[in-house]
Structure 1
Amino acid sequence: MGLVVGLIGVGAVPVAASSSGSLERDFADAAAEFHVPVRLLLAVSHESSWWESHNGLRSSSGGHGLFDLGEKGAVSGSSARPLDRAAALVGAAPAVLRRNDRENIRGGAALLALHQRSLTGSSPEDPGRWYGAVARFGGSSYRGGGAAFADAVYRTLREGARSVRPDGQTVRLTADPGVSPARGQRSMPGTAGHGRDAEETDLCRPKCRFLAADPNNFQLADKPANGLVLNTIVINNSETTYDAALADYQNPALEVSVNYEVRSNDGYVTEMVRPQGIPFFTDNYTYNLHAVGIQVEGAAAQGAKWYTPSVYRTVAILVRRLSAKYKVPLDRQHIIGEDQVQADSTSAIADMGWGPGPYWDWQRLMALVSRKHPDRSPRASAEHMIRPGSVVTISPDFSRNLQTLRVCTSASPQSCTLQTQPSNFLFARTGPSHLAPLFPDPGLPAGIAGTDRIEDWGDRLNQGQQYVVAEQRGDWTAIWFCGQRVWFFNPGGKYTRLSGKSSLLIVRPRPGRTSIPVYGTNYPGPGAYPPGGKAPSPQIPLGVYTILKGQAYVATRPATPAQDFSPDPPDTVITGPERYISVQYNHRLAWLKSTDVEVTRR
């Protein structure tokens, strides 16, 4: 049994139970030592890290541990960073707070108590009267940001929460619908509780502003009203700081931008291109035409190793609102990472981006999008359920899916290190054995393809991706992937879920075809382009990829018209008679010409 914290009656003493008791004692002891309500302490930690310490690794906001202590938070009467101030308050070195759960909890409790005393001079037992301290702990600099963090904490108190840590402990905070936050404390100094930015935008309020990208970095358009299909949301990471990313998108020489940039420490958003416009976000213009891009502050490989709850909450809100406005389905076939965007030519495959990377928790994001807890129900038996022709969804439990990747420096001489941590993928192999080589994507260079290098996306099956089963042999499942049969370890169906959707579209080569080409774009043929206007965009197959007779793939959406765009004349959409269907081809999506395939509904 894991940690369970609840209340018995109004004003009762919190009670807890745990088989190991370690985390329970740590929270209870820290709450007693610093006179913080234990339920509140748990809720603040949940909204800082989801009760995960991440083995001391630095978050995308620069914080560490169960309270994400680091760069965030304005410490009253001190210029010290929160981590350093918390360490001083508990009499321990900052390095200890980074890696030791107990000391990190003590530091979080001490810092929260310091905020409360500086604001009110008291330490009340009622968690509702700590609203101002919680807002200040959130550390946001934008108006309304502290209140947004505090509201998330009090929502957790009201609704309860549950999480399974990587060490197996189940942490539960029972719901307390009667908690009443003192929102009047939003006016207290340092809480960032009141106000709105001058150019707040509808889709991401109350946590955003509009700051236009340079006109050279995007195209004005009016999609989808102009006829361009808007059916995808693409998520990526910045590989730089929030401020540096904004500066890049205002630099006309870079010719790059994004619709939304999300700051890590508090989830604050800057909208740089309206969703109706066309940002130069991915390296494939087809996806820029049909998608909205959301970029989060953080590094996929170097530096920060986990993204903050503030980022996930903000992205989930944006995704839900974009979905409601533009009718984008809320599933992993339409909410994708940049690492799923296909190259527009064979020569470009090796240089395609692979953010938000292996440490982006798709399971968590989709749970927030659907307003449900992450689905950790038992898997179906592989022996009785997974058969050739069935469709599986890749579904490892992120927090317990520990994978080891090799991270190498770009400098010469190159040095590499191995890092093991929760990840969003499974490895694909060439045979049903752990000794079989990893699958080498034919578009990636030697030395990268078929390796455990972090940038080798070609041998990874990502959370939420769907594939058609080719064979089941013991603990190993084979799927059709990148024109071949690849295998992944799946004992008892542990890492997959069978898709029961009757609306799934399965795509195969049309009868009589021994193979069909694979495309990275869906541009019209030359005849669709007006004379004297934009030159036709090349619609050329990706030469290293193909689909053979007998193979089958899952369509991510029905066939859509071939389209292109020109800003001259303004907002000109070029639509051809051809239609293309998007499929989950390998780690990335791909386009198939509708006249080349047979589509059946499963």
Structure 2
Amino acid sequence: MTAGLAMAGPTAQAAGPATAGVGTDTGTAGTDAGSRERAFAAASAEYGVPRTVLEAVSYAQTRWDFNPGHSTSGGYGPMHLVDADLGSRDEAKGLGEAQGASAAHGSTPVADTLGRAAGLTGLDEKALRTDELANIRGGAALLTATQRRLGLPSGAGTDPGQWYAAVADASGSAQEDVAAAFADDTYSVIASGASRHTVDGKDVSLLPSTTTPDRAQIGRLGLVKKATNPAVDCPPGLECDWVPAPYQDLGGGDYGNHDLANRPASPTITNIVIHNTEASYATTLKLVTDPTYVSWQYSLRSSDGLIAQHLEPKDVGWHAGNWYVNSHSIGLEHEGFAATGAAWFSEPMYRSSARLVRYLATKYDIPLDMQHVFGHDQIPGVTPANVAGMHWDPGPYWNWEHYFQLLGAPLSSQEAEGAKDLVRILPGFETNVQPLTFCTTGVADSCGEQGTNFVYLHTAPSESAPLVNDIGLRPGGAPSSTRVSDIGARAQAGLTFAVAERQGDWTAIWFNGVKGWFLNPASAPTAIPVAGSYVVPKAGLAKAPVYGRAYPEAAAYPAGIPVQPLAPLQYTFAAGQRYAVGDLTIPTNYYRAVTYSLDTPNDHVDVVGQDRYYQISLGHRFAYVRAADVDVVPAQ
């Protein structure tokens, strides 16, 4: 499980990525693109639920998707019916042991909505898992049962605003603010409308409509108020447990599993790192509470978006494989397997994560862009020897475009018509099916077809040209591959790159020291022009060094604190190349924390330098350059 977890502290690094997948049953939803629309209409009429309510609840839960057979998060079908009675045989899905682990830490167990739907409809549980009409009927039956239990009017023609409590109950949460947040999300879908071609090929749309939700109904559900815990740093509308990571002296000078600090005063908090766990939620909680393991700030459960917080914001987790990034970041681990993709990355988890990140970004003044909210796979190695061992999660199936929509910062919002020098990769997600292999260990063609978050880069403007090489991953110069874990030739959605050349429908960008070509036809662009700046080596320099961390100059270190070496990475940023600027205000510091005792002289000290660095978009991973080595040029 090394794509996400297993990151160590200041010096230890990650092992290579795992390629474990989870098998699924074959669904019976069929190939008719219009069948899901008809299923919503039929279930609405049969169970007396306004169709707008039924479709909006489904959209808020799954965006109308029906992953083949089932979701490994435990939620089945477009109504996300959760089978919470899976037992230990399905612990890999994060539900069997997760309930026990949750109970041990005071968490809400997963609601068994699939079992309830079977009782209400008389339908077989297998049908509820695999048949789209049965699944949607089950979701409609649950909504109507709640509406009638609360003594509220039902019927397909009733005012959708009178279903607020039933919609809130569909969240599965016993916490009032969480249930209300889900209901508000659902009613925002009704107000704005939505339209999608789902991952399993169905066309569903919901026209915008005006209704006034009766929010006072929430009191009828008898839900609990959020308990206050000063250690928990979460906004209203999220269910967050305190599951502390232990700070413990292990003897012999060793300790775990994080470091104490005084953030954001020192060091500052400038980034949020998105991980996936490569483990079930239950296993994740076991690992983060092990003093001999490592730590991160938050874990999110796939089935319902439940959050466990492990560290106070002031302290430093060991999650990024780069001590400089650790000291400035907050790490979010999302339950799931990078090679399995959408089956784990559920809509409840996306929405919880986005709500949490919006809150943290506001509190700590972190810009909502991919230079500051980024994946584990974008973090550079700290030395040339570390580059090949860095992680690749959350992987090619994390939907960055949708995630930033939920953050309220669409990746398309900075399009600058007519800009020439910089492009942002935006291929779309659902329809951007790129070839990937080895999602199951040892099986070359195991990944199947699903949306991806990147475009491949070639050595020439042709699909038949080899993929570009990443010398940090393949020092011998061999081309990158289509292995799910191989990021060497992937230009990821949301990242901005400097244009090197254009030929017809093809665009070349500077990428890890070489030109990488991707198909970008004007009729169906996979990138948009954006404004910004780029850097070039200063006049007279044959090349500018690039670094994996922004450590201070030697003169900044006080007596008793060893100067930290700053080794340039193996990538060549030569004269004639240019790279997009991600951030011009990078903090220059080294947080010294190598002992357990806070009383140790010259320890738990933030060494701040005068040297300046810029973050640049070097390749799939970003890098840092010294301001003294480059010039910043406004892009045209």
In structure 1, distance between residues paired with 2:591 and 2:615? 19
Equivalent position SS for 1:25: helix
Give the alignment's Cα RMSD to 1 decimal.
3.1
Identify which of 50, 66, 69 aligns with 1:53.
66
Deviation at 1:449, TM superposition (A): 5.9
| Amino acid in the other structure paired with 1:593 | R
Q: How does 1:451-490 map to 2 (within 5 A)?
A: 451-490=481-520
Deviation at 1:219, TM superposition (A): 1.6
CA contact (8 A) 2:33 2:202 kept: no
Q: 1:234 to 1:303 in 2, by over 3 A?
A: closer
Find out whether 1:65 has 2:98 as its counterpart: no
Identify which of 566, 577, 580 aligns with 2:592.
566
In the alignment, which residue of structure 2 is the partner of 1:162? Answer: 194
In structure 2, distance between residues paired with 1:92 and 1:212? 42
Q: TM-score, normalised by structure 2?
A: 0.80
Deviation at 1:138, TM superposition (A): 2.1
Q: 1:506 to 1:127 in 2, by over 3 A?
A: same
Deviation at 1:414, TM superposition (A): 5.8
Equivalent position SS for 1:102: helix
Find out whether 1:532 has 2:571 as its counterpart: no
Give CA deviations for 1:129-186 in whole Å, capped at 9, x if unaligned: 44443333322365654343333323433x2321322448361242324232453445
Give CA deviations for 1:305-353 in whole Å, capped at 9, x if unaligned: 3522222222222222222222211212211111111111222222211
CA contact (8 A) 2:57 2:79 kept: yes
In structure 2, distance between residues paired with 1:348 and 1:26? 52
In structure 2, distance between residues paired with 1:40 and 1:107? 14
CA contact (8 A) 2:60 2:185 kept: yes
Equivalent position SS for 1:398: coil
Identify which of 197, 205, 226 aligns with 1:171.
205
Q: 1:148 to 1:266 in 2, by over 3 A?
A: farther
Deviation at 1:379, TM superposition (A): 10
Deviation at 1:238, TM superposition (A): 1.5
Q: How does 1:5-20 map to 2 (within 5 A)?
A: none
In structure 1, distance between residues paired with 2:152 and 2:365? 50
In the alignment, which residue of structure 1 is the partner of 2:290? Answer: 251
Find out whether 1:397 has 2:428 as its counterpart: yes
| Amino acid in the other structure paired with 2:61 | S
In the alignment, which residue of structure 2 is the partner of 1:584? Answer: 617
Deviation at 1:357, TM superposition (A): 1.5
Q: How does 1:31-430 map to 2 (within 5 A)?
A: 31-56=44-69, 58=71, 61-71=73-83, 81-83=112-114, 86=117, 94=125, 96-118=127-149, 120=151, 123-124=154-155, 125-140=158-173, 144-157=177-190, 159-166=191-198, 167=201, 169=203, 171-188=205-222, 193-199=223-229, 201-207=232-238, 208-215=240-247, 216-226=256-266, 228-254=267-293, 256-302=294-340, 305-370=343-408, 385=418, 387=420, 390-410=421-441, 416-430=445-459
In structure 2, distance between residues paired with 1:310 and 1:448? 41
| Amino acid in the other structure paired with 2:169 | R
Structure 1: unaligned runs, 5 residues or longer: 1-18
CA contact (8 A) 2:164 2:214 kept: no
Q: 1:202 to 1:290 in 2, by over 3 A?
A: closer
Structure 2: unaligned runs, 5 residues or longer: 1-31, 87-109, 248-255, 594-599
Q: 1:334 to 1:371 in 2, by over 3 A?
A: closer
Equivalent position SS for 2:273: strand
Deviation at 1:204, TM superposition (A): 2.7
Deviation at 1:42, TM superposition (A): 1.0
Equivalent position SS for 2:544: strand
CA contact (8 A) 2:160 2:211 kept: no
Give CA deviations for 1:221-272 in whole Å, capped at 9, x if unaligned: 122322x343222111122222322221121111x21122222222222222
In structure 2, distance between residues paired with 1:289 and 1:377? 29
In the alignment, which residue of structure 2 is the partner of 1:593? Answer: 626
Q: 1:121 to 1:467 in 2, by over 3 A?
A: closer
Q: TM-score, normalised by structure 1?
A: 0.84
Deviation at 1:426, TM superposition (A): 0.9
In the alignment, which residue of structure 2 is the partner of 1:7? Answer: none
In the alignment, which residue of structure 1 is the partner of 2:25? Answer: none
| Amino acid in the other structure paired with 1:540 | A
In structure 2, distance between residues paired with 1:487 and 1:540? 29
CA contact (8 A) 1:87 1:94 kept: yes
After TM superposition, the structure 1 stretch with the greater mean CA deviation from structure 2, 565-574 or 508-517, is 565-574
In structure 1, distance between residues paired with 2:242 and 2:486? 35
Find out whether 1:508 has 2:536 as its counterpart: yes
Equivalent position SS for 1:418: coil
Give CA deviations for 1:371-395 in whole Å, capped at 9, x if unaligned: 77x8599996xxxx575xx100101
In structure 1, distance between residues paired with 2:379 and 2:77? 33
CA contact (8 A) 2:425 2:528 kept: yes
Find out whether 1:441 has 2:470 as its counterpart: yes
Equivalent position SS for 2:405: helix
After TM superposition, the structure 1 stretch with the greater mean CA deviation from structure 2, 427-436 or 343-352, is 343-352
CA contact (8 A) 2:47 2:144 kept: yes
Give the paired residue count.
Answer: 558
Deviation at 1:298, TM superposition (A): 1.9
In the alignment, which residue of structure 2 is the partner of 1:15? Answer: none
| Amino acid in the other structure paired with 1:218 | H
CA contact (8 A) 2:197 2:204 kept: yes
Deviation at 1:88, TM superposition (A): 6.7
CA contact (8 A) 1:73 1:136 kept: no
CA contact (8 A) 2:457 2:489 kept: yes
In structure 1, distance between residues paired with 2:444 and 2:412? 39
In structure 2, distance between residues paired with 1:448 and 1:71? 46
CA contact (8 A) 2:165 2:215 kept: no
In the alignment, which residue of structure 2 is the partner of 1:6? Answer: none
CA contact (8 A) 2:62 2:348 kept: no
Q: 1:551 to 1:121 in 2, by over 3 A?
A: closer
Q: How does 1:541-560 map to 2 (within 5 A)?
A: 541-543=568-570, 545-560=571-586
By relative contact order (CA 8 Å, sep 6+), the higher-ranking structure is: 2
CA contact (8 A) 1:519 1:592 kept: yes
Q: 1:121 to 1:225 in 2, by over 3 A?
A: closer
| Amino acid in the other structure paired with 2:81 | L
In structure 2, distance between residues paired with 1:597 and 1:516? 7
| Amino acid in the other structure paired with 2:579 | Y
In the alignment, which residue of structure 2 is the partner of 1:9? Answer: none
In structure 1, distance between residues paired with 2:85 and 2:274? 27
Deviation at 1:484, TM superposition (A): 0.3
| Amino acid in the other structure paired with 2:359 | R
Deviation at 1:49, TM superposition (A): 0.9
In structure 1, distance between residues paired with 2:478 and 2:448? 17
Q: 1:71 to 1:348 in 2, by over 3 A?
A: farther
| Amino acid in the other structure paired with 1:491 | P
